[in-house]
Copies of this chain bind each other. A is one copy, B any other.
Amino acid sequence: MNSMTQSTAAVDPDKRTPGRPRSARAEQAIIDAVLDLINENVAIEALSMEAVAAKAGVGKATIYRRWSSKEELIVDAAASLKLPVPDLVGESVRDDLVTLLTSMGPSASAQRREGVFSCLSSQVQRSPELQVWYMKVIEPRRERVREVLRRGVAEGVLRADLDVEVTLTVLSAPMTGRPIGGLQTQIDRVELAERVVDAVLDGARER
């Protein structure tokens, strides 16, 4: 994977590889081609390296020199879209959670991203390696949720015995999972986030 190569290079910064350095233009053209193709091509997975190379005006070898598989390339393309984790006003646990959850999941932002994330999560199952990379993309947002939950506990707003991990999962799964057979098709992201947060905060049991 690309980023690995960069890290490896960074280990010994004096040593410059001989020969012509890799073209940053080609690199960007490839990423753009991936995103464009995903964007046009709502039906994902018909995304072929051949098409990426053609669209980027690049030889296939130039792609494989940087990414050793289609999956890695797509992960990197997704990573390039990584949204800044939203700034939190920090006034209310509930509002912070709604903000964070809204920014999660496939439909989080620009249309272009939708397809990328949807495609990604379907590919990611396959190899543990890809999961690690995918995690790097989504984990920051998950960590912010944990922080908010812990802050809530500390402030006494949330239960002292809160199971933070399970609560995190319960909150995020409805946002990142596929919208099949559920609510997500009918209501918008913000409303979904609000209802999920409220349901999880308040609980179902009568007291």
Contacts and interface: CB of A to CB of B under 8 A. Distances in A.
Interface of A: 43-45, 118, 121-127, 131, 134-135, 138-139, 142, 149, 152, 156-160, 162-163, 165-174, 176-178, 180-184, 195-196, 198-207
A156 B182 CA distance: 26
What secondary structure prevails in chain A residues at the interface with B? helix
A158 B118 contact: no
Contacts of A205: 157-159, 201-203
Q: Kindly report how many copies of this chain are found in the complex they form together.
A: 4
B181 A138 contact: yes
Given A166-B198, A201-B204, 20 more contacts: A43-B126, A45-B126, A122-B122, A122-B125, A125-B180, A131-B180, A158-B204, A159-B203, A159-B205, A163-B198, A166-B195, A167-B204, A169-B182, A170-B196, A170-B200, A173-B177, A177-B177, A199-B200, A200-B200, A203-B203
Nearest to A177: B177
Contact of A174 (B44, B124, B152, B173): B173
A41 B104 CA distance: 32
Nearest to A106: B125
A17 to B, nearest CB: 15
A125 to B, nearest CB: 6
Contacts of A196: 166, 169-170
24 contacts: A44-B126, A45-B126, A118-B125, A121-B122, A134-B180, A138-B180, A139-B181, A158-B204, A158-B206, A159-B204, A160-B206, A165-B183, A166-B174, A166-B198, A166-B199, A170-B170, A170-B174, A170-B196, A170-B199, A170-B200, A173-B173, A200-B203, A202-B203, A203-B204
